[in-house]
Chain A
Amino acid sequence: MAPLLDVQNLSTSIKLTSSTVHAVDNVSLRVGKGETLGIVGESGCGKSVTGLSIMGLLPPGGAVTGGSIKLNGRELVGLQKEEVRRIRGNQIAMIFQDPLTSLDPTKTIGYQVAEPVRLHRNVSRKAALDRAVEVLGLAGVPQPRERLDNYPHQLSGGLRQRVMIAMALACEPELLIADEPTTALDVTIQAQILALLRDLKERLGMAILLITHDMGVVAGHTDRVCVMYAGQVVETSGVVPLFRETRHPYTRALLASIPRFRQGRENALPAIPGLPPDLSRPPRGCRFAARCFRATEKCRAEEPPLTGPTSAHRYSCWHPLNEPRTLAVSGVDVSGTTGTDLVAPDARSPRTADGIRTSATEHKPETATANGDREGPLLDLRNLVKEYPVGSNAVLRRNAARVKAVSDVSFSMPAGTTFGLVGESGCGKTTIGKMIVALERPDSGSVTFGGVDVAKLRRAELRRERRDLQLVFQDSHSSLDPRMRIGSIIAEPLHAQHWGSRQARRERVFELLAEVGLPKNTVERYPHEFSGGQRQRIGLARALSLNPRLIVLDEPVSALDVSIRAQMLNLMTRLQASHGLTYLVVSHDLTVVRHLADRIGVMYLGKLVEIGSGSDIYERPAHPYTAGLIAAIPLPSPAAEHAKKEPAITGELPSPVHPPSGCRFRTRCRFAQERCAVEEPEPRSFGPGHLAACHFPLRTATPPETTADFAG
């Protein structure tokens, strides 16, 4: 049977002012009718450009330079513009990453969804609107008819992505290209959208080309997978064999560098050293060779062909991995040998793999609290409240609406430990981080750090206190002054605290650069000359400069690619061990928090709902929200993903301006009853150090019906 989409030897390049980027090089792939093909890879690997090439929507300067794209046997490359246009939106539809910017802000939802119908089906306005209602319903938009007259800004991100999907479905396309359809969404919404796509595919029998960077999404929602690296397909097979019989070292490394659930931070993550190659000057030979631990002379000289024992599983590698995979997803830890094997030797220096493992173990909670026991908790938050007025003119309107960013949050953490704060966007986790470092003052409540209430300090005292309290920002772009050299950026805290002489500060900067693994000449350069991962290292060096006791890490790796992320996580773990640091990690990514933290607090709409050790939270969650959040994370294991059924948490996040009464989660909770709307649940104990605030918890409280305090 001929495939629906048959791409052969596709090459696409994009002309820039000074160079030409060979974004896609000799890529072949097929999508059968009703099949989902996943294209997975890191940013800049050419996966999106492949999708855009098929659609004929390349950016200015982009052009298909070779190969063929056949849809139902019909060649699309070189087709008249008018002909391509008739296929677009009709036989092939596409949805994009960011639903917030993908809808025209000045046109109604109804108009935008009906537009392709009127264009391709030549029907009346009324019939097109009826079709719009139908597909909006299909895409799970509640009350679709009422939504027709809405404008995009009136809908939440999740709903907008549903509108985008409805728009794509409007003409019943045979192929849907979904380019990172859930990357901009919260994890619970992501689960809903992915489930919707899978459901639609089955009901409508359309094929999907799913482009993603997330191995978890691939595992659960595709039939076959193409792994791309530096513009080429390096491995392709059915989804199950890909995970079970991984052959290409890059695929393997990518899988290994994802932090696992059931795995704390006993082991350093096997990271891929270095950066992907520059595609305006692609290297000779295998493009992964420079980062591959198996690379030989042959790899650097000759390009490996994409072949395999069967046409179903092919890979381009001179030295494929033959042994059965030891990196399992469900429970089996990375064994020491494979773990270190994956890291190229030069990347491990100056540290040794052994060093990482022992030091990380030392800092398990039991051993690390020695310090804390003596002095009490290093950081103690009591009844923190923070609200922000909404609207630009809030000063004049006293009773303006207020966003309840943080409502009565208490917890504490001993020195030398890592506390993880997780939750979806808008849950108030970042605000707490800012209050801890005194960037924001709480409306009420206290932040006690080393016995001092930070929120009540006067300016001079606060400045002294700042030596011990530092923050690493999420956005490494805006957190480094673009007009300052790296040397001055890192030395800034030293300068501000009158630390040492000029010479001593200079020495200290070199020392810090070495610690975060950056060369000495970095000091002379400017932030824009560095990649995201390198800039994040610079931010870390700055935070470390004064030898602080506590560092708040605000989404420290969420802007980074998987392989770079693992490098960064390892670095943070190593620095904590060598400096005896206390971390507060704020993140939406549960796997990251799980990997770093000893204790974890789960937040929802400004409230702490559950707190406990990593295994409490991930293996014995008591709060339905925690359980749902964990279930929503796509796991890099087809078996685990296929076992999941419905999305655990339905509905949209309520407005933080008017949070629900009683338990704030009740509007999305399966177990909610009347009591949840009336009475706010008190935290109850579910084991040593494990508390949750829920009237109908998933586990029995121990001892039953005793309330406790999160801070306790």
Chain B
Amino acid sequence: MSVLVVIGVSIFVFALLHVIYPSPARDVLGLRAPQMAVDAWNKAHGYDDPAAVQYLRYVKDLLHGNLGYSYIENQSVLALFEGRMARSAYMSGISLALAVLIAIPLGVFQAVKRNSIGDLVVTSTAFTLYSMPVFFLGLLLIQVFALSLPVFSFQASQSTSLLTVIADWHAMTLPIATMTLISVAAFSRYMRSSSMDVLAQDYIRVARAKGLPERLVLLRHLVRNASLPIVTLVGLSLPQLLTGNLITEQLFNYPGLGLLFFDSLKKADYPVLLAYTQAAAILVVAGNLIADIALSIADPRIRLR
């Protein structure tokens, strides 16, 4: 199934590229190059082949790890991605992990204490965060923690060494907090409702009837069952995560893939833009596949079917 989706995604991205950027000839030869030169260049580089042939070549390149060439930067896209990739992965990965680690206990807490003051506070906070554009949240954090109380830096680490980046909590706290909070808002809402569903299940009542202390009822019988839908949700929320990455990197000027995308947008550097879109889509498909596999490990009903 995933293979089919990846093929579909590659067709879609290629079609997009083909329609809005049929040939890089103008970028190479300059805007004032004669039409004949453009045609010749196209012929020489295979840009006048039928779309299907071009597509197959595109797929072949992809399979060889060739993501295209930026004529504006005069560099292969892969070379542009290198180095930035790790930084983006670090920021997204740690935010995602933190978000899950915070959202699961938070959602359970809300479900157990539902309609209490605590639940109400968390729910309304989550609701507001959920409705907030990433950049506005980032701005608020900058205002409070970088400008009003100068605890953290309003610019992310500019270092090229990932280790330096990781060690630089002064610069990295705010961007990571921004991305984490946005995801926590979404995940905790789902965790709350999924925990409430599980709390209503008979086996929770049975666990209580065994005489288990409430803490163990939750730990042993609720958390795992209630987390199962979250696994799928995390897989499905990857596109939002990548979007969040784009905005956060732009806001905090963090030199990752998102910022590269933003810069390429300004330069209309289509090969980079579409390569990143393609990579992101494949990442999303892979993420969903991993989520499915993780779910089948966590849920014996799927594993042993």
Q: Is A in direct contact with B (CB under 8 Å) within the complex?
A: yes
Which chain A positions have C-beta within 8 A of B208?
57, 88
Are B301 and A115 touching (Cβ within 8 A)?
A: no
| Minimum C-beta distance from B224 to chain A (A) | 5
Are A88 and B300 touching (Cβ within 8 A)?
A: no
B30 at the A interface (CB under 8 A): no
Are A57 and B209 touching (Cβ within 8 A)?
A: yes
Are B206 and A96 touching (Cβ within 8 A)?
A: yes
| Minimum C-beta distance from B220 to chain A (A) | 7
Are B225 and A106 touching (Cβ within 8 A)?
A: yes
Please report which residues of chain A, range 79-99, place their CB below 8 angstroms from some CB of chain B when the two chains form the complex. Answer: 82, 85-90, 93-94, 96, 98
When chains A and B are docked, how far (Å) is the Cα of A88 from the Cα of B304? Answer: 33
Contact of B299 among A93, A105, A119, A154 (CB under 8 A): A105
How would residues 444 to 460 of chain A score, 1 for a CB under 8 Å from any chain B CB and 0 otherwise? 00000000000000000
Which chain B positions have C-beta within 8 A of A102?
202-203, 205-206
When chains A and B are docked, how far (Å) is the Cα of A135 from the Cα of B101? Answer: 39
When chains A and B are docked, how far (Å) is the Cα of A94 from the Cα of B202? Answer: 12
Are A89 and B202 touching (Cβ within 8 A)?
A: no
Are B300 and A101 touching (Cβ within 8 A)?
A: no
Contacts across chains A and B counted by CB atoms under 8 Å: 78
Known: A98-B202, A106-B224, A106-B225. A89 touches B209 (CB 8 A): yes
List the one stretch of B139-147, B210-218, B260-268 in contact with chain A. B210-218
When chains A and B are docked, how far (Å) is the Cα of A90 from the Cα of B211? Answer: 7
When chains A and B are docked, how far (Å) is the Cα of A94 from the Cα of B299? Answer: 27
Are A96 and B210 touching (Cβ within 8 A)?
A: no
Query: B201: nearest residue on chain A (CB-CB)?
Result: A101
Are B210 and A154 touching (Cβ within 8 A)?
A: no
A302 at the B interface (CB under 8 A): no
B9 at the A interface (CB under 8 A): no
| Minimum C-beta distance from B197 to chain A (A) | 12
When chains A and B are docked, how far (Å) is the Cα of A57 from the Cα of B221? Answer: 17
Which chain B positions have C-beta within 8 A of A55?
209
Which chain A positions have C-beta within 8 A of B221?
104, 107
Contact of A88 among B210, B216, B228 (CB under 8 A): B210
B11 at the A interface (CB under 8 A): no
Query: B205: nearest residue on chain A (CB-CB)?
Result: A57
Which chain B positions have C-beta within 8 A of A87?
211
Please report which residues of chain B, range 15-59, place their CB below 8 angstroms from some CB of chain A when the two chains form the complex. Answer: none
B80 at the A interface (CB under 8 A): no
B137 at the A interface (CB under 8 A): no
Query: B228: nearest residue on chain A (CB-CB)?
Result: A106
Which chain A positions have C-beta within 8 A of B304?
151, 153-154
When chains A and B are docked, how far (Å) is the Cα of A102 from the Cα of B201? Answer: 8
Known: A107-B220, A151-B301. A164 touches B213 (CB 8 A): no
When chains A and B are docked, how far (Å) is the Cα of A96 from the Cα of B209? Answer: 10
B298 at the A interface (CB under 8 A): yes
Name the residue among A55, A90, A107, A120 with the largest chain B CB count within 10 angstroms: A107
Name the residue among B205, B213, B216 with the largest chain A CB count within 10 angstroms: B205
Query: B114: nearest residue on chain A (CB-CB)?
Result: A60
| Minimum C-beta distance from A315 to chain B (A) | 32
B207 at the A interface (CB under 8 A): yes
Are A89 and B211 touching (Cβ within 8 A)?
A: yes
Which chain B positions have C-beta within 8 A of A82?
213
When chains A and B are docked, how far (Å) is the Cα of A67 from the Cα of B211? Answer: 23
Which chain B positions have C-beta within 8 A of A115?
207, 210, 212, 220
A167 at the B interface (CB under 8 A): yes
Query: B224: nearest residue on chain A (CB-CB)?
Result: A106
Known: A107-B220, A107-B221, A153-B304. A101 touches B203 (CB 8 A): yes
A116 at the B interface (CB under 8 A): yes
Which chain B positions have C-beta within 8 A of A98?
202
| Minimum C-beta distance from B117 to chain A (A) | 17
Please report which residues of chain A, range 226-280, place their CB below 8 angstroms from some CB of chain B when the two chains form the complex. Answer: none
A566 at the B interface (CB under 8 A): no
Are A120 and B206 touching (Cβ within 8 A)?
A: no
Which chain A positions have C-beta within 8 A of B224?
106
Contact of A94 among B209, B212, B216, B225 (CB under 8 A): B209
| Minimum C-beta distance from A701 to chain B (A) | 45
Are A106 and B206 touching (Cβ within 8 A)?
A: no
Please report which residues of chain A, range 122-177, place their CB below 8 angstroms from some CB of chain B when the two chains form the complex. Answer: 151, 153-154, 164, 167
Which chain A positions have C-beta within 8 A of B207?
104, 115
A543 at the B interface (CB under 8 A): no
| Minimum C-beta distance from A392 to chain B (A) | 10
Are A151 and B300 touching (Cβ within 8 A)?
A: yes
| Minimum C-beta distance from B209 to chain A (A) | 5
A103 at the B interface (CB under 8 A): yes
Are B298 and A88 touching (Cβ within 8 A)?
A: no
Which chain A positions have C-beta within 8 A of B205?
57, 96, 102
| Minimum C-beta distance from A85 to chain B (A) | 5
Please report which residues of chain B, range 228-245, place their CB below 8 angstroms from some CB of chain A when the two chains form the complex. Answer: 228
Which chain A positions have C-beta within 8 A of B216?
119
Which chain B positions have C-beta within 8 A of A153?
300-301, 304
Known: A96-B202, A154-B304. A104 touches B225 (CB 8 A): yes
| Minimum C-beta distance from A129 to chain B (A) | 16
When chains A and B are docked, how far (Å) is the Cα of A102 from the Cα of B213? Answer: 18
When chains A and B are docked, how far (Å) is the Cα of A157 from the Cα of B225? Answer: 21
When chains A and B are docked, how far (Å) is the Cα of A103 from the Cα of B209? Answer: 12
Which chain A positions have C-beta within 8 A of B206?
94, 96, 102-104, 164, 167
| Minimum C-beta distance from B216 to chain A (A) | 8
When chains A and B are docked, how far (Å) is the Cα of A597 from the Cα of B225? Answer: 46
| Minimum C-beta distance from A162 to chain B (A) | 14
Contact of B211 among A103, A106, A119, A151 (CB under 8 A): A119
Which chain A positions have C-beta within 8 A of B211?
85-90, 116, 119-120
When chains A and B are docked, how far (Å) is the Cα of A358 from the Cα of B225? Answer: 59
Which chain A positions have C-beta within 8 A of B210?
88-89, 93, 115-116, 119, 167
When chains A and B are docked, how far (Å) is the Cα of A90 from the Cα of B209? Answer: 9
Given A96-B209, A116-B210, A119-B216, output 20 extra A-B contacts at Cβ < 8 Å.
A85-B211, A85-B212, A88-B208, A94-B206, A98-B202, A103-B206, A104-B220, A104-B225, A106-B224, A106-B225, A106-B299, A107-B221, A115-B207, A115-B212, A115-B220, A119-B212, A120-B211, A151-B300, A153-B301, A167-B206
- Ordered by A's residue number, 13 sampled pairs between the chains whose C-beta atoms are within 8 Å are A88-B209, A89-B210, A94-B206, A103-B203, A104-B221, A104-B225, A105-B299, A105-B301, A106-B225, A116-B210, A116-B211, A119-B211, A167-B210
B interface with A by C-beta (< 8 Å)? 201-203, 205-213, 216, 220-221, 224-225, 228, 298-301, 304
A interface with B by C-beta (< 8 Å)? 55, 57, 82, 85-90, 93-94, 96, 98, 101-107, 115-116, 119-120, 151, 153-154, 164, 167
Q: Which 4 A-B pairs have the closest CB atoms?
A: A89-B211, A89-B210, A88-B211, A151-B300
